[in-house]
Every structure is written in structure tokens, then in C-alpha cells.
Amino acid sequence: MKKSMTVMVIALVAIVTAWSLVTYPRVGGEVLNVASRLETAVYGLQRAEIDISDSKLMSWQGGPSEAEAVIMLHGYSADKTVWMRFARYFLDDYRVVILDLPGHGETAFDPELKYDTRSQGQRVIEVMDALGVSRAHIIGNSMGGFIAAQLALHHAKRVLTATLIDPAGVVAPQASDMEKMLAEGRNPFEIASREEFDEFYAMTMAQPPWLPRMVLDYMADDYILRRESLVRIFEDFHSVDMLDSSLGKVRVPVLIMWGERDRLLHFSSAEVWRSGIEGAELVSYPELGHMPMLEAPERSARDVLKFFDKQQ
């Protein structure tokens, strides 16, 4: 009897443990989704699908429909949620469109698509066409900054201004922590465990917003599940030439913003952009990392709005 009770207790513990391992990250995902839905509703952002030639892009949209448009483009492996708190400061005066680019967030990965920045930029133009937007302010972070620069270079008539926040796209004078890891044959974005995610997450921001452990574990598991698609997107993203030699051809107003503690793309790149683009402005943040719009949303938004006002 005693032996059978022991076996039952062990079995019960095993069942509870297995249930917890399966359920725990799902709860974290639900917490994140519910919090995002509530917060965007408070700000006045609404979820909407946009059909273009090769994709159905999910987005958040808000603000007066007749106002100048602002399109926000996230970085590699991120999604539209990184803009949520930043975007609230634009909604009174601008029509805001925040995209999940193909292969990110709620927009599906399709192995038949190309994910280089020129191709993603063309999809942004198709989004503008679908929404009846002739010209827009383009704001991009990291890979999204590279896409914004491609739009400023190749679709200047459609771009009112380009704001590049810690953008990829030029050769950095000094190697970042990520570039050193890549040189050693390891990509920090290729996550195989929650421990690897924690190491990667620490590289993304110097002052990250607080998140419960269960949410971070959900995010880690999501990266693990998306690893194969992220590898493919990374290959496409890095398949195009850097823009160093083309910066002098940019003819739209450009604001460069950079967190000086960026570990993914070294701050030394900021001067390459600033000196390469005629009239480009630079704002830097000594205490911030790779995503100033998420680390200090109000401060960074005010800096962008001040830049917009100068263009009036």
C-alpha cells in the first residue's frame, strides 16, 4: 500500500510538472496579448489587416485619417508591439500605421517570399497604396531603419521624412558585441534555450521595460519555435549591399537616433549616417541601448515630433 501511494505521488508530481511546463509559457503569452490589447485600446490603436500582392500584413492603426501619415517599422525578429507606447504621442495629430512585416508578429512567414530590405520596402509602398497614402513619415528601428533608408533612397517622392533609430545598413567603424559574436560563428538571434534568450534579451536594451518572468519565458519559447524562419530572414536581410556609398543620394529630411549603449549595432555607425546624408540630424542617448523608442518612449517621441515640426 505504501509503495503504491509513493508511485501515485510521483505520478501526480510528474503530471503537475508536465502541465506546468506546457501551460506556464502559454499563460505568459496570454498576459502579454491581453495587456497589449488593453493598452492599444486606451491609446486608440485598432488592429487591422492589409492585403498586398504577396502578403496579408497585420497592423495597428489610429489617429485622424485625413492627417499626415506616420508608418513605423520594427526591427529583425521584433514586431509592432515595440512601437505601442511610443506611438501614443503621435495619435492626436498624425495618422499612425504600425506594421508587422512578413515573417514577424501576426504576419505569417512564407518561405516563398524574399525578406531583404528592398523587398520589404516595396511592401511598405504597397501598404501605402492600399491605404490611399501618397506620402508618409517613415520611422524604422534596426532592420526597419534600413528599410526606411531604402525607401528614402529609392522612393523619395513617397517619403516626407525618414527617422532612422539605431538602423542597420552601413559598416560600423567599431564592432558591436553582436558583430563580434557573428565573427565567432554564433548568431545571438538563433535561440535554442531560455538561457540563450536571456543573454540575447540583455543585448537588446540598456533599460528594458519590466516584464514578468512568465512573459519572458513565453517570448523565449516563441524565438525557439521561430528559429528556422528567423535564420532564413536573417540570410535575406544580409543579402543586399550596405548603403555607405549611396548615402549621398538621399534627398529627404533624415533624423538619426541612437542609444549609445547599443550592443547590437555600434554607436560609431551614427556618424557614418550623419556625415553621409546631407543635412541629416543626429540625436543620441548616452544611457539607452538598441531601442530608444521602447526604453524611453516619451522622450524619443518628443524628439521625433520636434524634428517633424522643423520640416513644416
Q: Which tens digits make up the pLDDT trace of 234-254?
A: 999 888 889 999 999 999 999
Q: 2-310 has which fold? A: Rossmann fold (3.40.50)
pLDDT value, residue 24: 56
Residue 31: which pLDDT band, with cuts at 50, 70 and 90?
low
Percent of the chain topping pLDDT 90: 82
Q: Which single residue is written with the C-alpha cell 536571456?
A: 198
Looking at residues 153-180, what average pLDDT do you find? 98
Q: Which tens digits make up the pLDDT trace of 47-66?
A: 999 999 999 999 999 999 99
Looking at residues 253-260, what average pLDDT do you find? 98
Answer with the residue of higher pLDDT: 270 or 42: 270
pTM of the model: 0.91
Closest C-alpha to 91, from 72, 74, 110, 117: 72
pLDDT value, residue 36: 84
What's the half-sphere exposure (Cβ side, CA atoms, 13 Å) at 277? 27
Average pLDDT over the chain, rounded to whole?
Answer: 91
- 104, containing H or E segment: none
Are 72 and 97 a contacting pair, CB within 8 Å? yes
187 pLDDT more than 60: yes
pLDDT value, residue 25: 59
Are 167 and 146 a contacting pair, CB within 8 Å? yes
Are 175 and 266 a contacting pair, CB within 8 Å? yes
21 pLDDT more than 90: no
pLDDT value, residue 23: 52
Residue 211: which pLDDT band, with cuts at 50, 70 and 90?
confident
Q: Which tens digits make up the pLDDT trace of 93-126?
A: 999 999 999 999 999 999 999 999 999 999 999 9
DSSP letter at 41?
H
Answer with the residue of higher pLDDT: 309 or 238: 309
